[in-house]
Chains A and B, each alone.
Chain A
Amino acid sequence: MILITIAIAACTLVILSVIISYILGWANIRFKVETDPKVESVLEALPGANCGGCGYIGCSDYAAAIVNNNVPVNKCSVGGESCALKVAGIMGVDPGQMIKSYAIVHCGSGLSERLLRTVYHGEKTCIGANQVAGIQGCTYGCLGFGDCVQACKYGAIHVIDGLATVDYKKCTGCGACARVCPRGIIAIVPFNENSIPVVACSNKDSGKESKEVCERACIGCKACSKISDIFIVEGSLSRADYSAYSDSKHEDVLKATEKCPTKCIRFAGRM
């Protein structure tokens, strides 16, 4: 009796599976979506990190844009040069010049170097803390709660001594950190050389005001711009023109770093 029951159940399952597989097979032909084999092969060549660093929603979106809209193939900072070459091979186009970009934090102040004001009991996130006045004196610099650390898929950014610090061995330049930083102090910058000079400060206030809140603040004294032409002082904040830098200017920049009274110029990148 039990055997018969089992047999009936087994037969039902077999018949069902046959019917359903026919339906599936039919549906596969009937509802087939034509995909461009090129898009698929481009997608395969891309690293598949779906980080959005190229400006498209994930790798498949970028692959479709390359094939359909003739978008440049060198936008993937994660895959880098080898990936661009591969994609260019598939598309039969010139890969274009590929300058590797990385994240740069425009703040260089450790916890002991900045003016801290009060004990903060609120949400331990930068986006929350940024809406509260007076956690620390500087309203431009790093808050150190690590929204960027959360956003980074590659574990390439860490908060060290209250300051977001990029690990250039892991950074791919996807820009996720720059997008979440509520104070906008992280930028994705093309690196002409392995390491480039950075004015690690974003404080736009006058020299006197910024010095009150931070020892490492740029005070806009123009000492650096007198020595090296890659520094441009706007208002009371200096910035480095990253595209103008090359290793031949290293000597000058080194002099400027030494001359800087608050030591806010430093080198970033793979040393």
Chain B
Amino acid sequence: MSLFNFKKPSVKGGFRHGIHPPENKGLSETSKIEVVKGYETVTLPLLQHVGAPAKQIVEPKQEVKFGQMVAAGEAFISASIHSPVAGVVKNNRNVTMVNGRRIPAVVIKSEGEQVDPGLLWAEMIADDWALDRIPSYDPQQISKIIRDSGIVGLGGAAFPAHVKIAPNDKKPINTLLINGCECEPYLTSDYRLMIEAPHAIVAGAIIAAHALSAGQTIICIEDNKPEAIRELTQAGQGTSIKIAALKTKYPQGGEKQLIKSALGLEVPLGGLPGDIGVTVSNTGTMAAIAMALLKGRALTHRVLSVSGKGINSPKNLFIPIGISIGEIIRYCGGLREDACRIVAGGPMMGFAFSDLTTPVIKGNTGIIVLSKEEISEGRETSCIRCGKCVDACPMNLVPTRLAMASRYNNPDIALKYHINACFECGCCAYVCPAKINLVQLIRSGKRLVANQQALNKR
């Protein structure tokens, strides 16, 4: 046997750079998912996803049933929206989303007999999924059911799932990665879902793999969640699904980082995972797909963590999409006196906002209320080119260069340094000792580049 012929054991956790922020998951990771009941109105913005807004198909004063479609995603990259309550449609209202966009929203006041969300949750955590029914579905049919159920990526980006989970002859998919990393600090919604509803996730993964005709399916979980790994391994027994434990490192759950860690492959610059035959999807999305296909439930509810030292009792909740964030905070015992900043999503990539009437949307993974001690504030100082951001950037970019190109209005340099490859994970801003708002600057820079390109086209 040749000395050079041995296969190196695969190193899981293998993307370069990244950071290790304090996890703070202990606040909410032991609390079981509670079903929120007794809400009066839900507000459903017509654009909760990436792509074109959904088109409203209900009129004010019209009665709607539980799970009825209220807005249809007509464009290819769009998603339909369903009512989580039975009730009456009120006049539309405009809401400022957490990302600053102003979007019209359908308001539904609950009236009459309601379907108990506890029932929905009981269906989700059941372990009797009719897995033998799955092969009888046609892949196109699965994609259509996902589309009709309004399912989007529930890991945060809210990309319509039917676009990804669809058979593609031009770019065949051979590997389906299920993302259960949940690398953001504080958030525990995926973790709890993996422990409490592992069978739904496995069922969804089998459905998605069937729709994609993917040869292998791997559920990737960071190694700080041993219980989730155990539960899913048990649930996945007797199926072809593999479980991979990855190193705990932020942003392990980034699409491109996950592919590099789990498969050792790299997505080409500007490309998508589909280009190398991989599809990545979140565990919550898998559970939603299983619910849609095997139980006929559209996406109306989701799991959300409420955490942070600024909230009285951190919890994991099963909530209707469209409930206001203020209501959720009230449910969790309200804000503490030293609460300082409310963030929708995780603390690294989430958005801080100020209006508590903002509704929860499909892509919300958590509400984090940070107390004064948890945020680092200070005056910005000059960049001394220490290079910490460069060492942290998981995309191997030069964040300071991009940020300064944006600040000094230079879209050409920003483009030359590949500003659009940045996915705004926030590692650079986290490590920057000069407290420069790197991510915000880069985000502005992307706008500058887009404006410039539009101007050049004219």
B-binding residues in A (CB < 8 A) = 117-118, 121-123, 125, 127-128, 130-135, 139-140, 179, 182, 205-206, 209
Complex Cα distance A127/B441, Å?
A: 9
**Is there contact, CB below 8 Å, between A128 and B440?**
yes
**Is there contact, CB below 8 Å, between A117 and B355?**
yes
23 A–B contacts from the bound complex (CB under 8 Å): A118-B354, A122-B437, A125-B407, A125-B444, A127-B444, A128-B440, A128-B441, A128-B443, A130-B100, A131-B443, A133-B96, A133-B97, A133-B98, A133-B99, A133-B358, A134-B353, A134-B354, A135-B354, A140-B102, A179-B451, A206-B93, A209-B93, A209-B94
Chain B residues within an 8 Å CB radius of A134: 96, 353-355
B351 contacts A by Cβ under 8 Å = yes
B171 contacts A by Cβ under 8 Å = no
B377 → A minimal CB distance (Å): 7
Chain B residues within an 8 Å CB radius of A118: 354
Complex Cα distance A8/B18, Å?
A: 64
User: Secondary structure of the A side of the interface?
Assistant: loop
B382 → A minimal CB distance (Å): 15
B369 contacts A by Cβ under 8 Å = no
Complex Cα distance A179/B351, Å?
A: 27
- Contact for B440 among A122, A140, A182, CB less than 8 A: A122
- Given A131-B99, A132-B352, A135-B354: 17 more A-B contacts, CB < 8 Å: A118-B354, A121-B377, A123-B440, A123-B444, A127-B447, A130-B100, A131-B100, A133-B97, A133-B100, A133-B353, A133-B355, A134-B353, A139-B102, A140-B102, A182-B447, A205-B102, A209-B94
**Is there contact, CB below 8 Å, between B97 and A205?**
no
**Is there contact, CB below 8 Å, between B351 and A132?**
yes
Q: Which of B314-362 contact A (CB under 8 A)?
A: 351-355, 358
Chain A residues within an 8 Å CB radius of B451: 179
Complex Cα distance A209/B95, Å?
A: 10
**Is there contact, CB below 8 Å, between A133 and B377?**
no
B interface residues, how many (CB within 8 angstroms): 26
- Contact for B437 among A127, A128, A135, A139, CB less than 8 A: A128
Complex Cα distance A132/B440, Å?
A: 9
Complex Cα distance A96/B278, Å?
A: 61
Complex Cα distance A125/B444, Å?
A: 9
Chain B residues within an 8 Å CB radius of A121: 377
| Number of A-B contacts defined by CB within 8 Å | 63
B262 contacts A by Cβ under 8 Å = no
A-binding residues in B (CB < 8 A) = 93-94, 96-102, 351-355, 358, 377, 407, 437, 440-441, 443-444, 447-448, 451, 455
Residue of B nearest to A127 (CB): B444
Complex Cα distance A130/B437, Å?
A: 15
Given A121-B377, A139-B102, A140-B102, does the pair A131, B444 have CB atoms closer than 8 Å?
yes
Complex Cα distance A123/B353, Å?
A: 15
A179 → B minimal CB distance (Å): 8
Most A C-beta atoms less than 10 A away, residue of B355, B358, B444 = B444
Given A117-B354, A117-B355, A182-B447, does the pair A131, B96 have CB atoms closer than 8 Å?
no
Chain B residues within an 8 Å CB radius of A205: 94, 102
Residue of B nearest to A119 (CB): B354
Complex Cα distance A127/B440, Å?
A: 10
Residue of A nearest to B435 (CB): A121
Complex Cα distance A130/B351, Å?
A: 13
- Please provide the 3 A-B residue pairs with the shortest distance between their CB atoms, ordered closest to farther: A134-B354, A118-B354, A133-B353
**Is there contact, CB below 8 Å, between B444 and A139?**
no
Chain B residues within an 8 Å CB radius of A140: 102
A20 → B minimal CB distance (Å): 35
Complex Cα distance A133/B361, Å?
A: 15
Most A C-beta atoms less than 10 A away, residue of B94, B354, B447, B451 = B354
- Contact for A123 among B100, B351, B441, CB less than 8 A: B441
Complex Cα distance A129/B355, Å?
A: 16
Complex Cα distance A123/B97, Å?
A: 20
